[in-house]
Chain A
Amino acid sequence: MSHAIVQLSYLVATALFIFALHWMNAPVTARKGVYAGVAAMVIAILATWAQPEVVHHGWIVVAIIAGFAVGIPLSMVPLTAVPQRTALSHSFGGLAAGLVGTAKYYLWVYEGPEHLTTFRMVAIIVEIILGYLTFTGSLMAAGKLQEVKWIPQRPVTYPLQNLINIGLLALAAVIGVALTLNPTATWAPMLFPVVIVLALAFGVLLIIPIGGADMPTVIAILNSYAGLSAVAMGFVLDNKLLITAGALDGASGLILAIIMCKAMNRSFVNVLFGAFGQAQQAKTGGEEKVYKVETIEGGAQVLEQANLVVIVPGYGMAVAQAQHKVRELYDQLRKRGVSVKFAIHPVAGRMPGHMNVLLAEANIPYTDLVEMDEINPEMPQCDVALVVGANDVVNPAARSDKTSPIYGMPIIDADKARTVFAIKRSKNPGFAGIDNELYFSDRTWMLFGDAKNVVGELVKQLSGSTH
């Protein structure tokens, strides 16, 4: 296939990728976006494969078949496991970039030093550092999300942590510069693996101090890195399709990370180097606070008589697999003419948009899923706010308590509703380890128990009273 046809195919693929993302702007057109993306990918693969420099086909076929064999089961994971699947695929993306960069470097060393121009060396070094750190960092993130036993869930901190991390990265960069300046030196091919090892180690150390509540941001940042490592590969291979597609992914990760950071009122640097979740000491002092507990019967009665019920879901709903019971509750209340809406905080769950997907899976129409900014003005008119497994995102301390670690974070104003019911598994503080004064408010009644059971009991109560 001639050069022009390959370039034209790449151009078409680029346009289709842009359309794919463009169509994601509404649920109605989004599936068209998937088809555009698949078409672009098929075109890109065929155009590349047909190039004359590709002479061995056996391994390509085997690798593609193996990709299908692993990819298909990975696409069927339960939706609660989507964050770890996403993290895992970032790590695959990073690995691919790292390996291609490594292969290209040694190939050019072998073929002759004139290939190793300064530009290419810089691109290779960036590609392998980004690629390998994304590989191990995302693996760690996936492990934390999957709650793998030997990976600590809680943030792990030690003295001089940030200094050590930045030192490692700086060392990798210094060696990278040395390699770029002397790509043909006899020691260069020996020093190259050191950069790889440093990048791999940096990826692990970067994620160790990060706790579950920060995962949405971290996943978005890793998404961006995976894209940028593809861009670097494009620079190495002089391939504009890699650059455009990687840049789209990099931009997407960046925007999501910014939105997540804003939704927690924190900066990138603070998320990556702040080791959140360690700040639970103090703050509990003072008088003993008492929860008011409501019974299922009482709760059901209040819900039944409401005009507007706003359900605030959080990660706890996903953990308890309560989303289907929540939908039954939604149905029961709607049958009685109660309007029910869901208030979605941007960082609820373990990845951007996590709650929307879980509730959509439970067959709740997306028109009833309302963003924080849109629901908050309605909260004073809301009769009952039902908090299901959410904690920090409804903690009024974010508005009022300057000493709170979450101070300044925008929250869903559940406390402004006339009545608040909070379903909670235990009396322990939430993920960030912060006490929630919402639970002690005059208007709040607690429903203790597993979210799935409590909501199930409420449904039973409501459906029982109709007959």
Chain B
Amino acid sequence: MTESIDYWSLVYVFVLATFIGLGVIRRVSRLLYTPLMSITNAISAIAVVGSIIVTGGDYPTGIRIMGAIALFASMTNIVSGFLITDRMLKMFKTDRTPKADDRS
């Protein structure tokens, strides 16, 4: 199994994804750099995928503990990252509605 992994295709994926990332991010509105950072925080918490496999696999306890901590850390980033991004984005308005003034 170990020898069957095509490492070069992984490197290709990385390079191409980086170019897509550069292209997409360059067009992000400058107004939204703070929400951009929080949403990419949440996206990079995709480490959750690796954490689930390590936590849930039939492995020695010590290894699964490390996985569980990693899973907790990633999950925290996913939850807080997406929630705070949405919270910030809700605040960006073109004109103000009188109702929204109450919050401040």
Q: CB within 8 Å of B: which residues of A?
A: 14, 17-18, 20-22, 24-27, 30-31, 33-34, 37-38, 40-41, 44-45, 48-49, 51, 53-57, 59-60, 62-64, 66-68, 70-72, 74-77, 79, 82, 85-86, 89-90, 92-93, 95-97, 99-100, 102-104, 106-107, 110, 114-115, 117, 119-120, 219-220, 223, 226-227, 229-231, 233-256, 324, 327, 344, 346, 351-354, 356-357, 360-367, 369, 371
Compute how far the CA of A246 lies from the CA of B95 in the bound complex, rounded to whole angstroms: 36
B30 touches A346 (CB 8 A): yes
Contacts of B55 in A (CB 8 A): 56, 59-60, 63
Known: A53-B57, A106-B63, A244-B14. 5 other contacts (CB 8 A): A22-B24, A45-B49, A68-B79, A70-B76, A248-B25
Compute how far the CA of A242 lies from the CA of B43 in the bound complex, rounded to whole angstroms: 10
Rounded to whole Å, the gap between the CB of B102 and the closest CB of chain A is: 10
* Number of residues on chain B facing chain A (CB within 8 A): 86
Compute how far the CA of A49 lies from the CA of B7 in the bound complex, rounded to whole angstroms: 24
Q: Which residue of A lies closest to B33 (CB)?
A: A353
Rounded to whole Å, the gap between the CB of B36 and the closest CB of chain A is: 5
Rounded to whole Å, the gap between the CB of A34 and the closest CB of chain B is: 5
6 shortest A-B CB distances, which residue pairs?
A67-B75, A71-B79, A251-B21, A353-B33, A75-B83, A54-B56
Compute how far the CA of A460 lies from the CA of B70 in the bound complex, rounded to whole angstroms: 52
Q: Which residue of A lies closest to B28 (CB)?
A: A24
Rounded to whole Å, the gap between the CB of A371 and the closest CB of chain B is: 6
Main secondary structure of the interface of A (DSSP, over half): helix
A63 touches B28 (CB 8 A): no
B17 touches A247 (CB 8 A): yes
A353 touches B34 (CB 8 A): yes
A44 touches B46 (CB 8 A): yes
Compute how far the CA of A353 lies from the CA of B35 in the bound complex, rounded to whole angstroms: 8
Compute how far the CA of A352 lies from the CA of B25 in the bound complex, rounded to whole angstroms: 13
Chain B, 1-42, CB within 8 A of any chain A CB: 2-3, 5, 7, 10, 13-14, 17-18, 20-22, 24-42
Partner of A67, one of B56, B74, B87, B92: B74
Q: CB within 8 Å of A: which residues of B?
A: 2-3, 5, 7, 10, 13-14, 17-18, 20-22, 24-60, 62-64, 66-96, 100-101, 104
Rounded to whole Å, the gap between the CB of B38 and the closest CB of chain A is: 6
B74 touches A92 (CB 8 A): yes
A360 touches B40 (CB 8 A): no
Compute how far the CA of A72 lies from the CA of B92 in the bound complex, rounded to whole angstroms: 21
Q: Which residue of B lies closest to A360 (CB)?
A: B91
Rounded to whole Å, the gap between the CB of B60 and the closest CB of chain A is: 7
B76 touches A17 (CB 8 A): no
A57 touches B104 (CB 8 A): no
A99 touches B52 (CB 8 A): no
B92 touches A242 (CB 8 A): no
B104 touches A362 (CB 8 A): yes
Partner of A100, one of B45, B50, B87: B50
Rounded to whole Å, the gap between the CB of B91 and the closest CB of chain A is: 4
Known A49-B56, A56-B56, A70-B76; judge A96-B24 contact (CB<8 A): no
Name the residue in A21, A26, A246 with the highest tally of chain B Cβ atoms < 10 Å from its Cβ: A21
Contacts of A110 in B (CB 8 A): 60, 63
Rounded to whole Å, the gap between the CB of A352 and the closest CB of chain B is: 4
Contacts of B87 in A (CB 8 A): 75-76
Known A96-B51, A356-B33; judge A363-B14 contact (CB<8 A): no
B70 touches A99 (CB 8 A): yes
Compute how far the CA of A99 lies from the CA of B46 in the bound complex, rounded to whole angstroms: 14
Rounded to whole Å, the gap between the CB of B104 and the closest CB of chain A is: 5
Contacts of B22 in A (CB 8 A): 251, 254-255
Known A21-B28, A110-B60, A353-B31; judge A75-B84 contact (CB<8 A): yes
Known A18-B24, A252-B25, A353-B33; judge A96-B39 contact (CB<8 A): no
Contacts of B90 in A (CB 8 A): 31
Rounded to whole Å, the gap between the CB of A301 and the closest CB of chain B is: 26
Partner of B67, one of A57, A100, A231: A100
Rounded to whole Å, the gap between the CB of B51 and the closest CB of chain A is: 6
Partner of B42, one of A25, A37, A324: A37
Known A18-B20, A59-B64, A63-B72; judge A352-B84 contact (CB<8 A): no
Compute how far the CA of A114 lies from the CA of B42 in the bound complex, rounded to whole angstroms: 35
